[in-house]
Chains A and B, each alone.
Chain A
Amino acid sequence: MSDSPKISLTDLHKGFGTKKVLQGVNLDVAAGESVAIIGGSGTGKSVTLKCILGLLTPDSGSIKIDGVEMVGADRKTNEAMQAKSGMLFQGAALFDSLSVWENVAFGLIEGQGMPRKEAHDIAIKRLSDVGLGPEIAPLSPASLSGGMQKRVGLARAIATRPEILFFDEPTTGIDPIMGDVINDLIVKCTRELGACALTITHDMASARKIADRIAFLYKGTIIWDGPVADVETSDNPYLQQFISGNTEGPLDLDLKHL
């Protein structure tokens, strides 16, 4: 492991009203490393990501990015962090009032103040990085298929050349073949940027492909954390049940609440 971790979560707590979602999450992601957080629906994966991105404020605990504390940080610090990170949202979250290329170029034009002409050319390049031709650039995002929207979302996330990439369930809601295409693109883009990546998913195949390390989130804490190769041989009964998809086992499925 390198000197100081890129992202470091310590004892993170977050609840909504009386409901405790995160109850002490600890996780380090080193520079250039790709980590996947896996876990069942409603275990707080998206909440973890939103806390790191500053979209939610944790109740307690610490989030350090490049050694800088983000919890309670001022606006400048937050903006500096957002400028060096890129995020692919679960539903792509493309702006439907803008065209495809304006979506991809958004961070360049609005965030960095780049002239539209120059940003347009970069957007076309990023689109081709994710396997999309220039003919879709002027279209409206609503006219694209789900898989294409995800790829445009990926192009938008990488457009500003971020050092940290976040992926929220990159493969859910699309067919397995397109899912595989997305996985390959994520691996390729992360490598090219030399970025560190944090992916949350409940798709084990995708986690194996994208990540170097896997962290298993259950009942508000990371109960298992290790290299991808060790997942199969781990003797953690919870993890074994999750990857085999068995309903019989130690996991408290609590189906009523999902």
Chain B
Amino acid sequence: MPILAPIGRIFLAFLAVVGRVTIFAVKTLVHCVTPRFYFRLIFKQMCEIGYYSLPVVAMTTLFAGMVLALQSYSGFSRFSAESAVATVVVISMTRELGPVLAGLMVAGRVGAAIAAEIGTMRVTEQIDALVTLSTNPFKYLVVPRVLAGLITLPILVFIGDIIGVMGGYIVGVNKLSFNSGSYIQNTFQYLETLDVVSGLVKAAVFGFIITLMGCYQGYHSRGGAQGVGQATTNAVVSSSILILIANYVVTELFFVR
């Protein structure tokens, strides 16, 4: 069967990649919990990944919250359920839009940068140089980035949630003439801790995926500048897809029983 052979080959290649990524992830986790730790580098990466992503995340979540208020208002007015707008905004923001939008934005910004930086270090033999200078590249390069992603993404998403809800409030009060006090009251009335917590857990998972894929693609890049470019693209594409898959899985774990 000449059609089945290439399909089988692609499938086998796919399984091989999944295996390699899994081994890379396990190796990273082991190095995360065994000394030595480069605290300075973890802090530096937290600034790089978290602090400098704030403007992007703030802009996206602000406008997402604003448009969400508009859309749900115009939709809900068809069956006179306008009063649910505040609740819809806060629940969709904390559960879904905050983590997913922030995850995808950070994947584009940080995942690409990590893959490019580590990929350049690979093709210019800087990673080999680290090894000859008695430094483990996993501990020195991969672990600080992955830990920083794991820690800062939930913080970013928490801030993004607040800004998104504020966006909804701005539109709700100024454009849709809600009463300021009752909008705020509606926002918190039906909000549960689990809504926020599930979103933050998602954020941590996404932070792990983004930084891990960036490091993996960079670490295994070869073939000069072109190879680094390829690694950058692969990092963004693979982490974006994995984010959407993980988003479904985590949602099911939290809310379906």
- The interface of chain A, by Cβ under 8 A from chain B, is 50, 53-55, 79, 82-83, 85-87, 89-91, 93-97, 106-107, 110-112, 156, 160
Contacts and interface: CB of A to CB of B under 8 A. Distances in A.
A54 B131 CA distance: 9
Contacts of B140: 110
B125 interface: yes
Contacts of B133: 82, 106-107, 110-111, 156, 160
Contact of A93 (B117, B124, B134, B135): B124
A108 to B, nearest CB: 9
Contacts of A94: 126, 129
Contacts of A95: 121, 126, 129-130
B125 A90 contact: yes
B128 A106 contact: no
A89 to B, nearest CB: 5
Contacts of B129: 87, 89, 93-95
Contacts of A87: 129, 132
Interface of B: 117, 120-121, 124-126, 128-135, 140
B135 A111 contact: yes
Contacts of A112: 134
Contacts of B120: 96
26 contacts: A53-B128, A53-B132, A55-B128, A55-B131, A79-B134, A82-B134, A83-B134, A85-B132, A86-B132, A87-B132, A89-B129, A93-B124, A93-B126, A93-B129, A94-B126, A94-B129, A95-B121, A95-B130, A97-B117, A107-B133, A107-B134, A110-B134, A110-B140, A111-B134, A112-B134, A156-B133
A86 B128 CA distance: 12
A193 to B, nearest CB: 16
Contacts of B126: 93-96
Given A50-B128, A82-B133, 19 more contacts: A53-B131, A79-B134, A82-B132, A83-B134, A87-B129, A90-B125, A91-B124, A93-B128, A93-B129, A95-B129, A95-B130, A96-B120, A96-B126, A107-B133, A107-B134, A110-B133, A110-B134, A112-B134, A156-B133
Contacts of B124: 91, 93
B128 A89 contact: yes
Contacts of A93: 124-126, 128-129
A110 B130 CA distance: 10
A163 to B, nearest CB: 14
B180 to A, nearest CB: 48
A91 to B, nearest CB: 6
Contacts of B131: 53-55, 82
A79 B121 CA distance: 21
A85 B128 CA distance: 13
Nearest to A107: B133
